[in-house]
Amino acid sequence: MRDPQATAALSAPLPRALKDAAFAALLSLGLFLPLVGFDTVTNIRNELILQTRFGLLAVIIALIAAASLVNSLVVAPWRARRALAEPKPAGRFAGELAKRFPPIALAFVFVYPALVLTLVGFQGSTKWIDNFGIQILIYVMLGLGLNIVVGLAGLLDLGYVAFYAVGAYSYALLAKTFGLSFYTLLPLAGMLAAFWGILLGFPVLRLRGDYLAIVTLAFGEIVRLVLINWVPLTNGYAGISGVPRPTFFGIPFNASDDGFAAVFGLTFSPIYRTLFLYYLILALVLLTAFVTLRLRRLPLGRAWEALREDEIACRSLGINTTTTKLTAFATGALFGGFAGSFFAARQGFISPESFTFMESATVLAIVVLGGMGSQIGVAIAAVLMIGGTELLRELDFLKHVFGQGFDPTQYRMLLFGLAMVLIMVWKPRGLVATREPSAYLRERKAIGRDLVKEGRG
Amino acid sequence: MSAPLLRVEHLTMRFGGLVAVNDLSFIADAGAITALIGPNGAGKTTVFNCITGFYKPTEGRLGFLHGDAGLWDDLDRLTARGARALRRPAGRLFLLERMPDYLVAQQARVARTFQNIRLFPGLTVLENLLVAQHNPLNLASGFAILGVLGVGGYARAERAAIEKACHWLEATGLIARADDPAGELPYGAQRRLEIARAMCTDPVLLCLDEPAAGLNPREKADLNELILALRDGHATSVLLIEHDMSVVMEISDHVIVLDYGIKIADGAPEEVRNDQKVIAAYLGVAEQEVERVHAEVGL
């Protein structure tokens, strides 16, 4: 009982593959000739002159033709063979991996700074701990917070960065004005963000789906514009500098006599502060994950998920959907506020430029890529997305290939989009495409994402 | 003798120019199965939506009673006072048309099912029944604040909730599928699960919107038994919308017939079955009638 199409693909003849490759090359010639083949440059007399880049064009077309050949000679037969083969039962290895992965990942995150310090030494490791470790963990935290709103409650929120901004500015302004410590202001900033979450929640309660997304998007922009234009309070575009940095429970990280290094008898190095910040954000991430995990197994979390599945059924069961939605907005905003105040404390400087729509989109992409509602998925997606873009800065060797003018970071958005498209083709419901039930009678069976709804707001 | 549980008085629901329900009055008795029948588009589901608070009636009063029948005397006073409910030691009296949908379920304890099944397909069968017990459980978890901190008696409350869910899963024959997602159940089982979920809210009145739609004869017989068991074993009154006469005539204590939003018959199943107006509404006008009309207009 062989599928004739699959059989045909299995024995893909070479001439046909060549024809396909030639067609792909022709198509890409048409597409890339105006885009890549010609380049306009201003010369020394300020004249615009047309240059041709046929070499680069040829390289691109050759690559595409080769990819087409590989696809029809290797990939397509392989896929056809796999389609013909008996469907394998879900691998036990994959199940084991899924069970073991979270503790292993957690252990790795704990020893990561030590690993970096031993491998790279004191001098080079700031970059790896700060740019990779702390940066990624901030986004994990934002992703986990937004996951409550989008993944669990099914409310599409495009303005999440507003709460991040509220948290950051709350910390910066209160710390600078009143001299309160980071540990007092962290919960306060979180609560202020949660308050703004409720404030946003009220007007948008009646909206669903696309309309909700548009209004939350506008909310995020309003907050940013207020930060830009309320100059007496926020100092506008110039931002707020000299934001107090967190101390080691009262001991500052500086070179003075009562600084951290002196107190503990170490030679001064900025790495101690970086290490401390790393473990601080790690603790915040774990707090977020723990609280979300607990909430999911409580009636409130279950009501969020029920709300995502069917709001009318929820109301018929006596669930007050208004307060349930507001708690989702408030809880998500709370964690966004925590992340924001940590961000301000880590940077020491904040400006409205850090809170653009791009940030909201990145965090939403992390949640969607990870698999809505899945915590471990969100963490993996944050590592891929943020770590991936940071990694682009490290690809200096590409300059030897493409010339000195080549800057890999400029291709960030291109790669970002490509990765999104690929993952959505490969795993349309995100990396972790199952839902863990919050309660069970005999055995905990993961639920396929095709049954789980995405929510319509 | 049974007392009125739900009093529908002069209920009218208009959608723009369309009158879906017109001046409908009826009484559903406590401990009885009351059926609401009528052809398609007669306004049955609209009546349900008004009773359960999903629609706000254009006109009319919906009185609902917990406890002593003597409280009905206070109905006019409650209406005049403009309040939603009256609390007395002898019981409580509600005006359902003044309550939002979730309070109808939460306080008046009127549960409902839907004509087109509305389960939570991505949650397991057990989770569906736990969501139905949200309000008592949420209170037990201290509105999630104590629950997150891990203090308070939430674990005990959840065990009790799971026990109750198991009771209803056994009653509906779904216990073997407790850990499967609700969306994977076959159609008949989804209908039964929706009833089990509604029963988990401990309703005083259960409103079933076409529970037998799409069921085969054996499933229908099982459903009849289940509904009778709800009435006799759990003292739950039932308000039923149904097209299937084998269900309606067999189990109902009282039948109300609607046609174009107007009540055309009201009584015991036997009386209604032989009512000429009901037969005309369901089967169209009799053959002789058509001939007579033809003769009158000269065809």
Hey, what amino acid is at B22? N
From the list B173, B239, B222, the residue with the least C-alpha distance to B37 is B239
Between A120 and A340, the higher pLDDT residue:
A340
Directed axis angle between helix A357-370 and helix A412-426, to 10°? 30
pLDDT score, position A1: 42
pLDDT at A449 over 60: yes
In this structure, the answer to whether residues B266 and B223 fall within a common structural domain is yes
Q: Does any CB of chain B come closer than 8 Å to the CB of residue A414?
A: no
Q: Does any CB of chain B come closer than 8 Å to the CB of residue A334?
A: no
Among A303, A318, A435, the residue with its CB nearest the CB of B105 is A318
Contact B102 A444 (CB under 8 A): no
Can you give the pTM of this predicted structure? Answer: 0.82
pLDDT tens-digit map of A241-259:
888 888 887 777 777 777 7
pLDDT score, position A137: 93
Q: Examine the fold and report which residue of B202, B234, B269 is the final residue of a domain before the chain moves on.
A: B202
| Residue A279, min C-alpha distance to chain B (Å) | 22
Which residue bears the tokens 């308050």? Answer: A195
pLDDT score, position B287: 60
DSSP state for residue A152 in the 8-state scheme: I
For chain A, domains (ranges, CATH) are 4-84 (no CATH), 102-394+427-448 (1.10.3470)
DSSP state for residue A427 in the 8-state scheme: -
Domain contains B249: yes
pLDDT at A170 over 90: yes
In this structure, the answer to whether residues B56 and B190 fall within a common structural domain is no
Between A53 and A433, the higher pLDDT residue:
A53
Average confidence (pLDDT) over B259-272:
86
| Residue B49, min C-alpha distance to chain A (Å) | 10
The band of A12, judged by pLDDT with boundaries at 50, 70 and 90, is low
pLDDT at B135 over 70: yes
Residues with Cβ < 8 Å from A285, sequence gap 6 or more? A137, A140, A141, A144
In this structure, the answer to whether residues B82 and B208 fall within a common structural domain is yes
pLDDT at A301 over 60: yes
In this structure, the answer to whether residues B166 and B222 fall within a common structural domain is no
In this structure, the answer to whether residues B221 and B100 fall within a common structural domain is yes
The CATH number of residue B46's host domain is: 3.40.50.300
Range of the domain at B87: 4-109+203-297
Q: Examine the fold and report which residue of B184, B202, B220 is the final residue of a domain before the chain moves on.
A: B202
Average confidence (pLDDT) over A402-419:
76
Residues 85-104 of B with CB under 8 A from A: 101-103
pLDDT at A2 over 50: no
- B213 phi/psi in degrees, rounded to 5: -60, 130
Other CB atoms within 10 Å distance of the CB of residue A77: 15
Q: What residues in A contact B127, CB-CB < 8 Å?
A: 302, 305, 437-439
In this structure, the answer to whether residues B86 and B211 fall within a common structural domain is yes
Average pLDDT, chain A: 84
Measuring CA to CA, how many Å separate B166 from each of A40, B159, B196, B211, B235? 74, 10, 10, 21, 19
Average confidence (pLDDT) over B80-104:
85
pLDDT tens-digit map of B26-80:
888 888 899 998 888 888 899 989 999 899 999 888 888 888 887 888 888 888 8
Strands A38-42 and B4-15 turn out to be: unpaired
Return the residue in B55, B102, B149, B163 with the most chain A beta carbons within 10 A, the one to mutate for interface testing. Answer: B102
In this structure, the answer to whether residues B18 and B99 fall within a common structural domain is yes
Among B101, B112, B179, the residue with its CB nearest the CB of A440 is B179
Domain contains B97: yes
Q: Does any CB of chain A come closer than 8 Å to the CB of residue B177?
A: no
Average confidence (pLDDT) over B164-181:
88
DSSP state for residue A409 in the 8-state scheme: G
pLDDT at A8 over 70: no
Q: What residues in B contact A303, CB-CB < 8 Å?
A: 131, 134, 138
Percent of chain A at pLDDT above 70? 93
Kindly calculate the radius of gyration of chain B based on its CA atoms and give it in whole angstroms: 21
From the list B47, B36, B4, B35, the residue with the least C-alpha distance to B252 is B35
Directed axis angle between helix A135-146 and helix A321-347, to 10°? 170
DSSP state for residue A86 in the 8-state scheme: P
pLDDT tens-digit map of B203-242:
999 999 988 888 888 888 888 888 888 888 887 899 999 8
In this structure, the answer to whether residues B143 and B132 fall within a common structural domain is yes
Burial annotation B92-109 (CB, 10 A radius, 16+ → b, else e): bbbbbbbbbbbbbbbbbb
pLDDT tens-digit map of A318-334:
999 889 999 999 999 99
- The total number of structural domains that make up chain B: 2
In this structure, the answer to whether residues B142 and B154 fall within a common structural domain is yes
pLDDT score, position B206: 92
Q: Does any CB of chain A come closer than 8 Å to the CB of residue B138?
A: yes
Average confidence (pLDDT) over A369-382:
87
Domain contains B213: yes
Strands B254-259 and B262-267 turn out to be: antiparallel
**Which of A255-269, A343-357, B39-53, B153-167 has the weakest average pLDDT?**
A255-269
Domain contains B38: yes
Contact B101 A316 (CB under 8 A): yes
pLDDT tens-digit map of A221-237:
999 999 999 988 888 88
Q: Examine the fold and report which residue of B202, B235, B259 is the final residue of a domain before the chain moves on.
A: B202
Assign A248 to helix, strand or coil.
strand
| Residue B181, min C-alpha distance to chain A (Å) | 7
pLDDT tens-digit map of B7-31:
898 999 988 888 888 888 988 888 8
Which residue on chain A is closest to B133 by alpha carbon?
Answer: A317
Domain contains B134: yes
In this structure, the answer to whether residues B228 and B266 fall within a common structural domain is yes
The band of A168, judged by pLDDT with boundaries at 50, 70 and 90, is very high
Q: Which residues pair with A447 in a beta bridge?
A: A435
Q: Does any CB of chain A come closer than 8 Å to the CB of residue B120?
A: yes
pLDDT score, position A141: 94
Domain contains B86: yes
SS (H, E, C) chain B: CCCEEEEEEEEEEEECCEEEEEEEEEEEECCCEEEEECCCCCCHHHHHHHHCCCCCCCEEEEEEEEECHHHHHHHHHHHHHCCCEEEECCEEEEEHHHCCHHHHHHCCCEEECCCCCCCCCCCEHHHHHHHHCHHHHHHHCCCCHHHHHCCCCHHHHHHHHHHHHHHHHHHCCCHHHCCCEHHHCCHHHHHHHHHHHHHCCCCCEEEEECCCCCCCHHHHHHHHHHHHHHHHHHCCEEEEECCCHHHHHHHCCEEEEEECCEEEEEECHHHHHCCHHHHHHHHCCCHHHHHHHHHHHCC
pLDDT at A36 over 50: yes
Directed axis angle between helix B217-234 and helix B187-199, to 10°? 10
In this structure, the answer to whether residues B33 and B101 fall within a common structural domain is yes
DSSP state for residue A244 in the 8-state scheme: P
Domain contains B14: yes
Please work out, in degrees rounded to the nearest 5, the angle formed at the alpha carbon of residue B240 by the alpha carbons of B118 and B258. 110
The ipTM estimated for the assembled molecules is 0.87
Domain contains B114: no
Between A316 and B277, the higher pLDDT residue:
A316
Average confidence (pLDDT) over A126-155:
89
In this structure, the answer to whether residues B79 and B198 fall within a common structural domain is no
Q: What's the gap between Cα A121 and its chain centre?
A: 29
pLDDT tens-digit map of A173-200:
999 888 888 888 899 999 999 999 998 8
Which residue bears the tokens 């905990």? Answer: A444
